[in-house]
Amino acid sequence: MKIRPLEIAWTHRDGLDYKPSWKREQLFINPEHAQIWERTKHLPGWQDPADSHKLYEMAYYCGQIILEIGVFGGRSAAVELRGALAGQTDEPPQYYGLDIDPGFLGRSLASVKELGVDQHCLFYHGNLQQFLRDLPVVPTMVFVDGDHQYAGVIADLRTLQGFLAPWTPVLCHDYHAIEGVRRAVDEVLQTPHFRLMGLFAGCAAWKKRTSSAPAWPCSNATKPPSASPPRPAIRLR
Ligand SMILES: C[S@@+](CC[C@H](N)C(=O)[O-])C[C@H]1O[C@@H](n2cnc3c(N)ncnc32)[C@H](O)[C@@H]1O
């Protein structure tokens, strides 16, 4: 279980362009990072360049166990796993993607196969509550891009609040574009559980504070099934 806390906090005044959240000399980690939006733009999904750059970066530093809510066509999954593989230090990354639309599986499988990352994926048909009941993993990063209505987003964020390990980076898509998403994100940012760390294209990134009394401390986090070999992409429900 490896989480490298975000090191740089950006504010609204810094604009929405991609900016690093971890300290380093270069804007981009490597040539693949710089090219990742171009390389994946034909896949089904909605990503601005800054979205893809931030997801790749987050997965590079914290992508050992990726949880994504809302997969649609696997575009963001492919970005995340390319970043996680580039940053891999020991165990191979695991990606868990869930979606309530059964059509996501066919679309997404083709995308992750094309990018050569399918052996790291587990696709789950269902919502976050159902997923956690069946697979109580403790992710090292989260991408929230499922329900875009206020009630659904706030429900997912409150669920995350209850089980994430301290310092887990969470990226929330469509913060600017969709009022319900913004309202839900702003609401959880008023609590002591999350802190805003920057805005990048449609995303807000933040981490859980250690003072937030997580359900379990990081060092005792339930070991996700990472000891077993990566599984092929399957649908469980
Ligand atoms: C914007 S798309 C995801 C795009 C994808 N993350 C990407 O960037 O390539 C949103 C997806 O969330 C799914 N969805 C909607 N409500 C959901 C929920 N409550 N839980 C999980 N997925 C949900 C939809 O079926 C849809 O496929």
Q: How far is the CA of 146 from the centre of ligand 1 (A)?
A: 3
pLDDT at 155: 97
With a Cβ cut-off of 6 Å, ligand 1 is lined by 45-47, 69-73, 75-76, 98-101, 104, 127, 145-147, 152
| The two structure tokens encoding residue 222 | 């339930």
Pick the residue whose CA is nearest to atom 5 on ligand 1. 71
Distance from Cα 101 to the centre of ligand 1, integer Å: 8
- The structure tokens 């956690």 sit at 132
Higher pLDDT pick, 1 / 2: 2
Domain ranges (residues) in the chain: 12-220
Supply the pLDDT for residue 205.
Answer: 84
Atom 23 (ligand 1) nearest CA = 146
Tokens standing for residue 47: 């990503």
The conformational region for residue 103 under phi > 0 = left, psi -120 to 50 = alpha, else beta, is alpha
Pick the more confident residue, 72 or 224.
72
pLDDT at residue 213, as a whole number: 34
pLDDT in tens, 82-136: 999 999 988 999 999 999 999 999 999 999 999 999 999 999 999 999 999 999 9
CA of 99 to the centre of ligand 1 (A): 6
Q: CA 173 to CA 200: how far, in whole Å?
A: 9
Q: Tens of pLDDT along 200-215?
A: 888 888 887 764 433 2
CATH 3.10.20.30 for domain 12-220: no
C-beta of residue 170 within 8 angstroms of C-beta of residue 140:
no
